[in-house]
């Protein structure tokens, strides 16, 4: 298809490379088994805890509306998104990057060409994003490569804001935001709301595999600058088994201790796409990580505070609140509320109530019966008794599902509504903005940390039933395609990037010069490494120093040897 030997229609109307698979329980795991007449047998792990997966699937909220009037947007054959509008629209601004990571899901800097849509292309993608039904709010996530390398990055942010999107974010490695506070302020002024900040752990050691000498300092500096500019931070952690899964508990502690700078963690078990598509079976088995594994590691690393079979719910359960909010705002509203009806194997979440003064946290679901609350909200939506009565019913549903005796001392029931109300157009309407007590005399103590798990698919565990209700579509020059269909072996990324290639690499460098790439241990020059963030590692080390020598190394004890800069 990339060479044109096979027409693109083949992928749209036939089913090349598709085979049946079985999902079954074997040796205490849930596995996917399939046999390809050409490549033989494959087996991979879907879940390391069958009971956990069964529970999450039983809590699935159901599919969203079937997408309508969308023929120009969804035209990708079996990979078509069929339901809903999605929750996050990813829009690539460039495939260039200023890092050279391993793993990298889209093989940045290695494909031999540059795909950098023009500003007009990007505007067309955003305009088309509001052209079909259901017409819902969606987060705009500018991505890449590294989106901040795009010469019109700030214009793209401003345009997305101008045409009515509430939440505009960047999926970034943070280098540009760490380097330049003024750039952060300009992004905020343009309408940027937040970042998905790549973050692999609370030490230089945990970030070292990405090849930048001072990457942890870069992350701390970026968080500091972004917070100062008023931009919200979500930490995005790619978890690789036997590489950084032993440090995910510390990331939760880090976020809880810095809750006014970090509001959400998105844990993403590794998916073997892009640079890792040809991974060996041996390494795949060693590095494979599942959402169930994540909930067990967090239970074990955080003293049992978060329980796998009590505190995790499918992301789709959020949609109970989308429905009631849509009902309350009425059919004439310009936008429907954002909805996240992905397949239960795709995404899960938990909510931790945090005491912002101490950093201590407790799972909300230890003292709030969320399962029953969801059912109550569905009844309130279906009975639709008008605004006043519905709000009263919501209040009663909260009261009957709240257990004051099990709640953290001093946690007021009034904060529960702040946890579930979806964000509005007002940029200060996120959960923690609503939970912050504005009046000086009120004890401004409570915040919430949202911890999510999204497990992107790869060729070894691919399931079209998941992509048809995907909530993370890519906005491309060829319509909107599920994240997993775009980045996995199906090959839509390679096809579309080649169809809309900007230039070959040599040609691009001739015209535009080379962009800097930090790799092979080279450090990013920073104005300062000073920061006001609280680091659980340092506190743990100081605590242990008081008693005995700590087992692991803190970030400032490892010196990375200076090596030759690589500029491609
Ligand atoms: S199909 Fe992939 S990108 Fe879409 S919701 Fe599922 S895991 Fe996420």
pLDDT at residue 441 in the model: 54
Asked if 192 and 231 count as a contact pair (C-beta separation under 8 A), the reply is yes
Is 434 contained in some domain? no
Does the C-beta of 481 come closer than 6 Å to ligand 1?
Answer: no
Distances from the Cα of 394 to the Cα of 22, 381, 388, angstroms: 42, 10, 10
Asked if 16 and 78 count as a contact pair (C-beta separation under 8 A), the reply is no
Is 519 contained in some domain? no
Lowest-pLDDT choice from 189-203, 292-306, 456-470, 518-532? 518-532
Does the C-beta of 166 come closer than 6 Å to ligand 1?
Answer: no
What's the per-residue H, E or C state across 431-455?
Answer: HHHHHCCCCCCCCCCEEEEEEEEEC
Q: Looking at ligand 1, which atom is closest to the CA of residue 342?
A: 5
Does the C-beta of 315 come closer than 6 Å to ligand 1?
Answer: no
Among 45, 39, 86, which residue's Cα sits nearest to residue 65?
86
Joined together, the tokens standing for residue 304 give 């049992």
**Rounded-to-integer distance, Cα 57 and Cα 51, Å:** 10
Joined together, the tokens standing for residue 301 give 């690393």
Q: Could you tell me the pLDDT band of residue 563, with boundaries at 50, 70 and 90?
A: very low
DSSP summary character for residue 516: P
SS3 39: coil
- Exposed / middle / buried, residue 281 (Cβ in 10 Å: 0-12, 13-18, 19+): exposed
**Rounded-to-integer distance, Cα 134 and Cα 233, Å:** 28
Residue 553 has pLDDT above 70, yes or no: no
Between the CA of 490 and the centroid of ligand 1 the distance, in Å, is 14
Among 140, 78, 147, which residue's Cα sits nearest to residue 106?
147
Asked if 527 and 352 count as a contact pair (C-beta separation under 8 A), the reply is no
Is 56 contained in some domain? yes
Does the C-beta of 484 come closer than 6 Å to ligand 1?
Answer: yes
Does the C-beta of 490 come closer than 6 Å to ligand 1?
Answer: no
The whole-number average pLDDT for the span 317-323 is 88
Q: How many CA atoms lie within 13 A of 163 on its CB side?
A: 20
**Rounded-to-integer distance, Cα 213 and Cα 518, Å:** 8
Residue 548 has pLDDT above 70, yes or no: no
**Rounded-to-integer distance, Cα 284 and Cα 288, Å:** 6
What's the per-residue H, E or C state across 175-196?
Answer: HHHHHCHHHHHHHHHHCCCEEE
Joined together, the tokens standing for residue 334 give 């310009």
The whole-number average pLDDT for the span 417-431 is 72
pLDDT at residue 559 in the model: 37
Among 238, 224, 152, which residue's Cα sits nearest to residue 187?
152
The whole-number average pLDDT for the span 460-472 is 96
Query: pLDDT tens, 258-316?
Result: 999 999 999 999 999 877 888 999 999 999 999 999 999 999 999 999 999 999 999 99
SS3 146: coil
Q: Could you tell me the pLDDT band of residue 562, with boundaries at 50, 70 and 90?
A: very low
Does the C-beta of 346 come closer than 6 Å to ligand 1?
Answer: yes
**Pocket mutation for ligand 1, best pick of 484, 489, 490 (most atoms within 8 Å of C-beta):** 484
Joined together, the tokens standing for residue 167 give 């939440």
Query: pLDDT tens, 337-365?
Result: 888 999 999 999 999 999 999 999 999 99
**Rounded-to-integer distance, Cα 168 and Cα 166, Å:** 7
Calculate the average pLDDT of the chain. Answer: 89
Joined together, the tokens standing for residue 283 give 């390494």
Residue 428 has pLDDT above 80, yes or no: no
Distances from the Cα of 341 to the Cα of 76, 317, 324, 467, angstroms: 20, 7, 15, 11
Is 15 contained in some domain? no
Q: Could you tell me the pLDDT band of residue 393, with boundaries at 50, 70 and 90?
A: very high
pLDDT at residue 116 in the model: 96
Q: How many CA atoms lie within 13 A of 373 on its CB side?
A: 25
Kindly state the helix (H) or strand (E) to which residue 226 belongs, with its residue range: helix 215-229
pLDDT at residue 491 in the model: 83
Q: Looking at ligand 1, which atom is closest to the CA of residue 466?
A: 1
Residue 568 has pLDDT above 50, yes or no: no
* Residue-number span of the structural domain to which 206 is assigned: 50-352+445-497
Does the C-beta of 467 come closer than 6 Å to ligand 1?
Answer: yes
Among 84, 172, 87, which residue's Cα sits nearest to residue 133?
84
pTM of the model as a whole: 0.91
Asked if 335 and 434 count as a contact pair (C-beta separation under 8 A), the reply is no
Among 421, 257, 258, 240, which residue's Cα sits nearest to residue 338?
421
Query: pLDDT tens, 101-118?
Result: 877 777 777 788 999 999
Count of domains in the chain?
A: 1
Lowest-pLDDT choice from 39-48, 97-106, 377-386, 559-568? 559-568
Q: Could you tell me the pLDDT band of residue 490, with boundaries at 50, 70 and 90?
A: low
Among 218, 211, 214, 274, which residue's Cα sits nearest to residue 566?
211
Among 326, 330, 286, 292, which residue's Cα sits nearest to residue 309?
292
pLDDT at residue 554 in the model: 32
Residue 157 has pLDDT above 90, yes or no: yes
Does the C-beta of 238 come closer than 6 Å to ligand 1?
Answer: no
Does the C-beta of 487 come closer than 6 Å to ligand 1?
Answer: no
pLDDT at residue 440 in the model: 56
DSSP summary character for residue 256: H
Residue 224 has pLDDT above 60, yes or no: yes
Report for 11-20, 103-112, 169-178: range of highest mean pLDDT: 169-178
Is 194 contained in some domain? yes
Is 14 contained in some domain? no
pLDDT at residue 69 in the model: 84
pLDDT at residue 420 in the model: 73
* Domain CATH code at residue 183: 3.20.20.70
Which residue is closest in CA terms to ligand 1's atom 6? 346
- List 480's β-bridge partners, or say none: 475
Report for 183-192, 271-280, 542-551: range of highest mean pLDDT: 183-192
Which residue is closest in CA terms to ligand 1's atom 4? 470
Does the C-beta of 79 come closer than 6 Å to ligand 1?
Answer: no
Q: Crossing angle, helix 119-128 and helix 153-162, to 10 degrees?
A: 30
Is 549 contained in some domain? no
Is 547 contained in some domain? no
- Exposed / middle / buried, residue 453 (Cβ in 10 Å: 0-12, 13-18, 19+): buried
Q: How many CA atoms lie within 13 A of 371 on its CB side?
A: 11
Main-chain dihedrals φ then ψ at residue 42, nearest 5 degrees: -135, 145
**Pocket mutation for ligand 1, best pick of 460, 483, 493 (most atoms within 8 Å of C-beta):** 483
pLDDT at residue 438 in the model: 60
């Amino acid at each position: 298809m990339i060479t044109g030997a096979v027409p693109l229609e083949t992928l749209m109307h036939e089913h090349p490379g598709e085979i049946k698979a079985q999902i079954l329980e074997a040796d205490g795991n849930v596995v996917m088994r399939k046999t390809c007449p050409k490549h033989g047998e494959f087996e991979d792990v879907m879940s390391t805890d069958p009971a956990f997966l069964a529970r999450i699937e039983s809590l699935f909220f159901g599919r969203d509306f079937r997408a309508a009037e969308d023929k120009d947007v969804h035209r990708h054959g079996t990979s078509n998104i069929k339901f809903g509008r999605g929750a996050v629209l990813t829009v690539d601004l460039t495939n260039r990057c200023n890092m050279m990571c391993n793993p990298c899901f889209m093989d940045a800097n290695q494909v031999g060409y540059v795909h950098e849509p023009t500003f007009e292309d990007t505007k067309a993608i955003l305009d088309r994003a509001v052209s079909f039904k259901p017409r819902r709010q969606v987060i705009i996530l500018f991505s890449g490569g590294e989106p901040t390398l795009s010469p019109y990055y700030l214009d793209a942010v401003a345009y997305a804001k101008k045409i009515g999107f509430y939440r505009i974010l960047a999926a970034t490695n943070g280098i540009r935001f760490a380097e330049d506070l003024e750039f952060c302020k300009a992004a905020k002024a343009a309408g940027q709301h937040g970042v998905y900040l790549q973050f692999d752990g609370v030490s230089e050691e945990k970030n070292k595999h990405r090849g930048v000498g001072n990457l942890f300092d870069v992350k701390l500096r970026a968080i500091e600058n972004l917070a100062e500019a008023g931009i919200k931070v979500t930490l995005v952690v790619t978890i690789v088994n036997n590489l950084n899964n032993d440090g995910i508990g510390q990331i939760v502690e880090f976020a809880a201790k810095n809750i006014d700078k970090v509001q959400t963690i998105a844990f993403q078990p590794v998916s073997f796409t892009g640079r890792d598509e040809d991974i060996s079976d041996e390494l795949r088995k060693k590095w494979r990580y599942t959402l169930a594994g994540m909930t067990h590691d967090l239970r074990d690393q955080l003293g049992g505070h978060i329980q796998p079979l009590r505190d995790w719910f499918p992301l789709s359960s959020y949609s109970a609140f989308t429905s009631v909010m849509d009902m309350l705002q009425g059919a004439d509203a310009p936008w429907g509320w954002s909805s996240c009806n992905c397949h239960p194997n795709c995404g899960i979440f938990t909510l931790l109530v945090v005491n912002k003064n101490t950093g201590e946290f407790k799972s909300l679901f230890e003292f709030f019966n969320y399962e029953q609350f969801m059912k109550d909200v569905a009844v309130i939506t279906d009975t639709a008794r008008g605004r006043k009565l519905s709000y009263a019913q919501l209040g009663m549903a909260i009261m009957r599902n709240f257990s004051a005796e099990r709640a953290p001392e001093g946690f007021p029931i009034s904060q529960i509504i702040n946890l579930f109300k979806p964000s509005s157009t007002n940029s200060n309407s996120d959960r923690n903005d609503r939970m912050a007590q504005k009046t000086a005399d009120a004890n401004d103590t409570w915040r919430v940390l949202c911890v999510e798990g999204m497990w992107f698919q790869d060729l070894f565990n691919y399931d079209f039933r998941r992509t048809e209700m995907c909530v993370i579509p890519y906005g491309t020059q060829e319509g909107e395609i599920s994240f997993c269909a775009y980045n996995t072996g199906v090959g839509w990324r390679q096809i579309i990037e080649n169809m809309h290639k900007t230039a070959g690499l040599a040609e691009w460098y001739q015209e535009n010069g080379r962009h800097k790439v930090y790799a092979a241990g080279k450090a990013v020059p920073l104005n300062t490494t000073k920061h006001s963030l609280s680091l659980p590692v340092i506190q743990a080390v100081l605590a242990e120093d008081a008693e005995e020598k700590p087992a692991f190394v803190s970030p400032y004890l490892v010196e990375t040897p200076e090596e030759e800069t690589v500029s491609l």
